Amino acid sequence: MDKDAGSLNKKVEDFLQVFRKGEEFTQELLRENEKLRYRLAQHEEVSKFSGREGDFRLHSMEERLKFLEDENKNLLDRYRQVEEENKDFASRYIEVEAENNNLANLYVASYQLHSTLDFNESLKIILEIVMNLIGAEEFSIMMLDESTNELSIVAQEGMGPEAHENIKIGEGAIGDVVKNGEAFYREGDPTNLSGVDYSHPLVCIPLKIKEHVIGAIVIYKLLIQKTQFSNMDFELFSMLAGHAATALFSSKLYSQSERKLSTIQSFLDLLKEK
Amino acid sequence: MPEYNFLVVEDSPTMRQLITFALKRIPGSKVIEANDGIDALKKLSTQKFDIILTDINMPIMDGLKLVSMVRNDPVHKAIPIVIITTEGADEDRKRGLALGANAYIAKPIQTADLLSVVNQIISGRSA
C-alpha cells in the first residue's frame, strides 16, 4: 500500500514537473510572442512612417513639377510676348527709318528750293528735284501768263521740240489743272507708255500760292528704273505744289525788283551828273 | 571709333546734300563734296578717301571718265567707287561696273539701299 502510494506520489511529482516545464515553456512562448508582437508593431510603425515620407516626397515632387511646368509655360508665354514686341519694334523701326528718310528728302528739297532768289536757279533746283528725287525722265515746268491766260514751258528735261507749245487755261488735262488747282494723276500703270503723249501727261501738279495757281509741273515719262509712285513721291508732289510756287514767285519778284532798282539807280546817277 | 572719309561727286546740290545726309548717319563719317570729275581729282590729290560716290552725268568731267582715271591711277586705284546715277538701263550698269565701279545705284536713291551698299564695302575692307 505504501509502495503504491509512493509510486503514485512519484507519478504526481513527475506529472507536476512535466506540467511546470510545460508552464515554463508556455511562459517562454508567451514572452516570445510578446517580443514578436512588439517587433511587428515596430515594423508596422516604420513601414507606416516610410510610406508617409514616400507620399510626402511624391507629393512635393509633383508640386515641384507643376511649379516648373507653370514656370516653363510662363517663360514660353513671356518669350512669345517679347518676340511679338520685338517684331513690333522692328517694324516700327523700319517705319521710323522710312519716315526719317522721307523727311530728309523733303527737308533737302525745301531747303534747296528756298536757298536762292535767282529765278533760273530756282527752275534748275525744281528740275533736279523732279529728276533725282521723283525719278522723272521727261517733264516740264510751265508758268501762267495772266495777261494771255496761257501756259508756256519755262524749263524742261528730256522733251522733244514738238512739246514746246503754249496751252490755254482750261485746255486739256494741263489747262484743267491750272484752272481748277487740283493735281492730275493719269490712271493705270505709270510705266505703260506707248509713246509719250505731250497732251496727256502722267502727272500734272499745279504750282499754287494759297489758292492762286501760277503754273504747273508736268511729268510725261519716268526713268526706266522707276516702276511706280511711292508715298514719298506724293509727299514731294504736295511739297512742290506749294514750295516750288513760292520759290519761283519770290525769285521772279526779286529779279524784277533788282532790275527796277538798277534802273532807278541809273536815273539817280544820271540826275547827279546833271 | 573708325573714321571713314567719303568723297561725293555730284553736280546737283540737292543730290549732294541728300547723299551727304545719308552718309552722315554712319558713325565716324566725314563727307567731302565735289562738283564734277576734275574737282574730285583735285580733292583726291590732297586727301585720303575710303569710298568715292559719283554721279555719271556731270559737266567738265563725267563720272565714267572719273572711274576710269581713278582705276588707272596707282595711288588711288584701290578706292571703292559707287556710281549713283539716273542711267538705270542694264547696259549702263554693265559699263559702269566694267570700268571698275564696285557698285551701281540708280536714282531715285533709297537711303537704306545706299547705306547698305556703303556698309557692305566698309565691312569688306575692314574684314
A222: domain CATH number is 3.30.450.40
pLDDT of residue A193: 57
Which is it for the CA torsion A113, A119, A121, A124, positive or negative? positive
Please give the grid coordinates belonging to residue A88: 513690333
Domain end (from A63, A94, A113): A113
* Contact criterion met (CB < 8 Å) for A133 and B86: no
CA–CA gap between residue B76 and residue A165 (Å, rounded): 50
Give the pLDDT of chain B (127 residues) as one tens digit per residue: 789 999 999 999 999 999 999 999 999 999 999 999 999 999 999 999 999 999 999 999 999 999 999 999 999 999 999 999 999 999 999 999 999 999 999 999 989 999 999 999 998 876 6
In angstroms, the separation between the Cα of residue B49 and the nearest Cα of chain A is: 25
Percentages helix, strand, coil for chain A (3-state, rounded to 5) are 65, 15, 20
| Residue A20 and residue A135 in one domain | no
pLDDT of residue A154: 94
pLDDT of residue A51: 73
Structural domain range at position A137? 120-262
Please give the grid coordinates belonging to residue A14: 513527475
Partners of A132 on chain B (C-beta within 8 Å) are 12, 14-15, 18, 86, 107-108
Nearest residue of B to residue A97 by CA position? B112
Domain end (from A113, A144, A169): A113
In angstroms, the separation between the Cα of residue A175 and the nearest Cα of chain B is: 29
Strands A150-157 and A136-145: antiparallel
* Contact criterion met (CB < 8 Å) for B112 and A97: yes
Domain assignment present for A84: yes
Domain assignment present for A101: yes
Output the CA–CA distances (angstroms, integers) from residue B33 to A195, A220, B68, B102, in the order listed: 38, 32, 19, 19
Q: Write down the domain spans for chain B.
A: 4-126
CA–CA gap between residue A203 and residue A216 (Å, rounded): 10
For residue A139, the SS3 value is strand
| b/e A141-162 (16+ beta carbons within 10 angstroms → b) | bbbbeeeeebbebbbbbbbeee
| Residue A100 and residue A164 in one domain | no
β-strand partners of B7: B32, B52
Which residue numbers in chain A have pLDDT < 70? 1-3, 164, 189-195
> Fold for domain B4-126?
Rossmann fold (3.40.50)
Output the CA–CA distances (angstroms, integers) from residue A205 to A55, A136, A233, in the order listed: 85, 13, 12
| Residue A141 and residue A81 in one domain | no
pLDDT of residue A191: 65
Residues listed for chain A: 274
pLDDT of residue A195: 59
CA–CA gap between residue A147 and residue A166 (Å, rounded): 14
